[in-house]
Amino acid sequence: MLLVGILFFMLGLFTILNQKYTVKRIGKERNIVEKAIDRSTGLYKYRIFLGILSIVLGIFCILNYIIY
């Protein structure tokens, strides 16, 4: 259950960060660049909600592992 919790937590963070940022390679360096976000579509809200839900589920899985 601990592994599942960690995976859900990482998936949630990845979903939220992937929605807002991108990694671009300039020369031999990698830079994190903020994306232009179209907030008028429902897809943006859905992905953020899905990321938050995944983080909360991961935290509950980790707490379940610790308590039991």
**Nearest alpha-carbon partner for 45 in 35, 53, 57:** 53
**Cα-to-chain-centroid distance, residue 19:** 8
**Residue 67: per-residue pLDDT:** 92
**Cα-to-chain-centroid distance, residue 20:** 10
Q: Are 23 and 31 in contact (CB under 8 A)?
A: yes
Domain ranges for the chain: 2-67
Q: Are 60 and 43 in contact (CB under 8 A)?
A: no
Of 59 and 36, the one with more pLDDT:
59
pTM for the whole structure: 0.80
Find where tokens 């903020």 sit: 34
**Residue 39: per-residue pLDDT:** 78
